[in-house]
Amino acid sequence: MTPGIAQVTAPGVSTRTIFNSSADLTHLFVSQQILAECYQDIFEGASAGAIMLDSPHMIRDPVLESLSQALIAARSNGALFGKMFVEQVSLAVVSRIVARHYARVAVQREAAPLQPWRLNRAMDFIEDHLSEQVKLEDIAASVGLSRMHFASQFRRATGVRPHEYLLKRRIDRAQQLLRSSQQRVLDVALECGFQSHAHFATVFKKIVGETPASWRAMVDHPVAAISPTRCSEEAATS
């Protein structure tokens, strides 16, 4: 082991480490409750099961190294650091390890795109709730997946993130309403799930290239295109 290296071992698994020289070593024994709390804080949702972190690979992470050094300093200078400081740094270490682990798991599972029946169900759910404040976890729940798995598989299947797809469908609906009705732009925005005229106008222009009002005017009063040939004929006649 070299300085700055970390290792994560699951409960009941014995390890053997050989040090080539003297070194400061920090052991953190983490309960399942703490792991679950860190997971929920990172991903804003509870884990589907027990959190088991176990990897035979050593971890080289500058952030973990800095946090570990802060813990060692706190232990060496106990009078200068309070218990709360030690606890918060320890939680930061655990959160970093949990985040690294599940990022690696997500990459390993990313190969499979969303199944067609799940994709169709998700799209139907989005269509039925375009006017509502839909959250990612709501769409994921409609197809029986966690938020993380759904987001990665949806993007794999469609090439876009769920939120991007939702915004595109809302703008498509808005274009239909602007073209076929006399509703105010604000009313169209609210009916398509936007909370303000400003947000609606920003998203609309980003996707369509024009503001809602400008696009509606273009649709209502299209400029007739005159071909160069016809221009020449009219000039010759006159």
- Residue 129 pLDDT: 93
State residue 226's pLDDT score.
41
Burial 162-175 (b: 16+ CB within 10 A, else e): beebbbebbbebbb
The mean pLDDT value of the chain amounts to 81
Confirm whether pTM is higher than 0.85.
no
CA-nearest of 136, 115, 139, 137 to 125 is 139
Class of domain 111-159: mainly alpha
For the chain, the domains span 5-109, 111-159, 167-238
Q: Which CATH architecture has domain 167-238?
A: Orthogonal Bundle (1.10)
Q: What is the pLDDT of residue 80?
A: 57
Interior angle at CA 203, CA 197 and CA 204, nearest 5: 80
Which parts of the chain have pLDDT scores under 70? 1-3, 55-56, 76-82, 104-111, 221-238
Would you state the pLDDT for residue 1? 59
Q: What is the pLDDT of residue 236?
A: 47
- pLDDT confidence of residue 38: 79
* Cβ-contact 10, 53 below 8 angstroms: yes
